[in-house]
Amino acid sequence: MKLINSDYLVIGSGIAGLTFALKVADYGSVTILTKKTAMESNTQYAQGGIAAVFSDDDHFELHEKDTLIAGADLCHKDSVKILVEEGPERINDLLNWGVNFTRDEAKNLDLVREGGHRVKRILHAADMTGDEIEKTLLKRINENPNIRLLENYTAIDLITEHQVLGNLQYAFNICFGVYALNNTTGDVEAFRAAYTLLAGGGASRVYLHTTNPEISTGDGIAMAYRAGAKISNMEFIQFHPTALYHPDHAPFLISEALRGFGGILRNRDGKRFMEDYDTNLELAPRDIVARAIDNEMKKNGDKCVYLDMTHLSPHDVKKRFPNIFKHCKEFLDIDITKDWIPVVPAAHYICGGIMTNLNGQTSMHRLLASGENAHTGVHGANRLASNSLLEAMVFSHRAAQKAIQNNPMSFDVIIPDWDDSGVDNSEEWGLIRHNRLEIQTIMWDYVGIIRSKNHLQRAIRRIHLLFDEIEDYYKRTHVSKDLLELRNMTTIAYLIARSALSREESRGLHYRTDFPQKVDKFQKDTVI
């Protein structure tokens, strides 16, 4: 078995992983593993932007307050303070690395407003902010001789004292790296490092309708859970209110920024229905808007609602949202300056994840986490729009600084070869692979925007059955990327449903019909 050694190992090639890699590269060798191509990440698909205090009419306290309000009394105030106050420094990192944010005619950064923000504080690169950031960071990564980026590798499991030979007591609860599948050769390889950062992104592919790419199967969270690390707040799944709807077309994110630009949500009769739900109208926090849309659809028996941009300047709309305009026109022949955009909520972002402290340290030694697969406490029960890219940068920077300060001692452990003595069960795989759709359907139907005890218990029973089938098959066959993702999705589905069942209240993104009120005793994190 091939063994690759590095000082720092990074799982994931989004903004969290790439920021960490660039920060530590001057202090040791870095290996980055990514499941597909380096560009394929949730970061790339981020349209709206990145929030930070950059204008004279904004200040730290206001950004903090907006974040805390959106988080429904569950944000960690110390994490939020760090996010907001260190945010501008991290934006300057992006500017120094060469990210080209959109500027106004005076060459100042063009700041816009999104839901939950009371002032304009969103920096953006037209409507392709994530794409611009990802390309710029990858260029820096490729120019750095201390960083090795390996594409088409799927991490399987963390290497801990359970795997290493020697049974050394001083090696207890320590991460030594990961086993990973080379998707091209089919071989399993071991990657050993002094520090391992899990930056594997989100898990929203566990739902039937999502804005996330195919790779978002919660691999980092699932691996950490299997290794015994603490996982927190998995019940808080943010459903983006506006994904492009068409029965024969994959969901496509219609950015929050369209509503910030003046877009109006209407039902099929043309009524501006947000007037009935919140005084902030279309700029209410995402959980409120998503539930409002869900209610309108159920009340009228409709499969979508509509976002109206037709009252705005066609020139300005095309200039501000060129990618969205192009996508709607090319794929669905919808001219967003003339036609209402059919939209529906879709699973978008997970506010929980692997528990970390303020420096990215998990409950396992030498295992760090940042980005969407981490729970830093910033988002609470609902993420404020455009705080996610900022969170990834701020806490990846802090994780890097901590790792640099603590020169790790080497451990004389032996990592055994991967045991792939099982036999392929190609006929069974034809049945097992259909479990992916079943998991997604269960989660959408029973653990979605609206929940109840009966639905959650039903979901957990079905997830247990699927888990047993998949785990049995996993132990009897050679691993594959699809099988590893399916295994992880089942784990994620269980964590979300179990967490949701234990929280007997409604708060932020978690709404239960049998417990519709917020309850003081649940003003705490759910920890598994």
**pLDDT tens figures, 300-340:** 889 899 999 999 999 999 998 998 999 999 989 999 999 99
Local structure of 451: helix, strand or coil? strand
Local structure of 327: helix, strand or coil? helix
How far is the C-alpha of 373 from the C-alpha of 42, rounded, in Å?
11
Q: Which two tokens stand for residue 70?
A: 């959106």
Local structure of 87: helix, strand or coil? helix
> Is 381:239 a contact under the CB 8 Å cutoff?
no
Out of 113, 121, 205, 286, the active site residue is 286
Containing H/E element for 10? strand 3-11
116 and 194 share a domain? yes
Is 259 among the residues known to form the active site?
A: no
Determine, yes or no, domain membership for 356.
Answer: yes
Pick out the chain residues at pLDDT < 70: 38-48, 165-171, 408-411, 422-423, 425-426
Q: Is 166 exposed, middle or buried (0-12, 13-18, 19+ CB in 10 A)?
A: exposed
How far is the C-alpha of 444 from the C-alpha of 448, rounded, in Å?
5
25 and 105 share a domain? yes
274 and 205 share a domain? no
CATH code for the domain in which residue 302 is found: 3.90.700.10
Quote the pLDDT of residue 39: 60
Write down the residue that tokens 């492009």 correspond to. 244
Q: Where are the beta strands (DSSP E) in 77-145?
A: 122-123
246 and 231 share a domain? no
**Last-in-domain residue among 345, 362, 377:** 345
Q: Which amino acid does the sequence have at 358? A: L
110 and 26 share a domain? yes
Containing H/E element for 284? none
Distances (CA, A) of 345 to 91, 172, 307, 505: 30, 44, 12, 22
Quote the pLDDT of residue 213: 86
Local structure of 313: helix, strand or coil? coil
**Last-in-domain residue among 303, 318, 345:** 345
> Is 75:380 a contact under the CB 8 Å cutoff?
yes
Determine, yes or no, domain membership for 412.
Answer: no
What is the strand order of the sheet 341-350 is part of? 252-253, 237-244, 341-350, 305-308, 264-266
> Is 374:354 a contact under the CB 8 Å cutoff?
yes
Looking at the chain, how many residues does it have? 528
Domain containing 74 equals 3-235+351-405
> Is 376:205 a contact under the CB 8 Å cutoff?
no
440 and 363 share a domain? no
Please give the tally of structural domains in the chain. 3
> Is 495:375 a contact under the CB 8 Å cutoff?
no
315 and 361 share a domain? no
Q: How many helices (H) and strands (E) does the chain have?
A: 15, 17
Quote the pLDDT of residue 450: 93
Our measurement of the distance from residue 200's CA atom to the centroid of its chain's CA atoms, rounded to an integer in Å, reads: 8
Distances (CA, A) of 21 to 6, 8, 307, 512: 12, 8, 40, 41
Helix intervals (H) in 448-502: 453-475, 481-502
Q: What is the Rg, in whole angstroms, of the alpha carbon atoms belonging to the chain?
A: 22
pTM over 0.85: yes
Determine, yes or no, domain membership for 106.
Answer: yes
Closest CA to 488 of 160, 179, 203, 183: 203
387 and 249 share a domain? no
Determine, yes or no, domain membership for 418.
Answer: no
159 and 129 share a domain? yes
199 and 277 share a domain? no
What are the two backbone dihedrals, phi and then psi, of residue 40, each rounded to the nearest 5 degrees?
-80, 100
147 and 64 share a domain? yes
86 and 190 share a domain? yes
Write down the residue that tokens 């409507």 correspond to. 127
